[in-house]
Amino acid sequence: MEDEAQHQYGEDIFVVDVGLSWVASKRDIPAALLPEEREQVIPGGSPSTFWAGVANVAVDEFDRTKARQLGQDIGRLVGSPLADQTIHTAWLGATRGVLDPVEDGLSGRAFLLLLQEAWLARVRRDDPAFTPPPPEPVTDEEATRAVLAVIRPVAGDLEGAVRVSFGVPPTGIVPALEQIVLRACADLGYRLFLSAMKAYFVMVDQRTYDAFQALGERFGYPEFLVGDNLNYQT
């Protein structure tokens, strides 16, 4: 796994997230908006419009990793056998339930297809002939076992943090993330798990943090992806 992962995320050492988990990391933008800014950023208060706009912004740096990985991540989930509810639950966990696309009547897959449409339309403004490469999910047993091994020791802490958070909790967040790891992609499942840990500010000790970092290195993540905004004790 390590040899295949090397350098897959490109040259940008300042990247702190990539792909769909990068989109999810923008969950704090709405809370920071002034009232006069909200309608401009979230037209009509539509969750799907806001998230599609974030996907569009990623393409402004299409030669870098966030935009390239976004298309891959969406394809990995859309083409998987996962239930729509599993995808929706994982998304709620990664975003702390901010601007839930179900408010626009969208299922998990329908929401991802909306993101894909926005992403692809923006890419083709610069490259009309662009054809997305087929998704290449990480599905080997070694990677799958490695991700599950770091999720399970903190599963109770994550579930507990979700239950006491504000808003509607994404019931079954850990099983949903595990299903993504098992049935869609270990890499994406791990990044969405990290997004949820950060979204709910779940504290981890130094040993757990080191395990998270070691797995990030095995996947070839940018240096700051794992630790950025993670609540850990040194």
Do 48 and 56 touch, CB atoms closer than 8 A? no
- Domain assignment of residue 7, yes or no: no
Is 43 among the domain residues? yes
In a domain, 3, yes or no: no
Report the distance separating Cα 99 and Cα 82, nearest Å: 22
Tell whether the model's pLDDT for residue 112 goes beyond 80.
yes
Q: Is 10 a member of any domain?
A: no
Scanning 96-230, the segments in alpha helix (DSSP H) are 108-126, 141-151, 155-163, 173-183, 186-199, 206-218
Q: How does pLDDT run across 125-152, given as a tens digit for each residue?
A: 888 998 888 999 999 999 999 999 999 9
Please state which of the ranges 83-87, 123-127, 142-146, 191-195 shows the lowest mean pLDDT. 123-127
Is residue 37 domain-resident? yes
Look up the pTM and report it. Answer: 0.92
**pLDDT band per the 50, 70, 90 thresholds, residue 2:** very low
At position 89, the amino acid (one-letter code) is T
67 domain residue, yes or no: yes
Q: What is the extent of the structural domain holding 116?
A: 17-218
Q: Is residue 210 part of a domain?
A: yes
Identify the helix (H) or strand (E) that includes residue 80.
none
- 86-105 pLDDT, tens digit per residue, is 999 999 999 999 999 999 99
**Number of domains into which the chain is organized:** 1
- Say if 227 falls within a structural domain: no
What span, in angstroms and rounded, lies between the C-alpha atoms of 39 and 14? 30
What is the average pLDDT across 159-181? 91
Among 15-29, 94-108, 142-156, 186-200, the range scoring the smallest mean pLDDT is 15-29
Confidence category of residue 47, pLDDT binned at 50, 70, 90 = very high
Residue 223 has pLDDT above 60, yes or no: yes
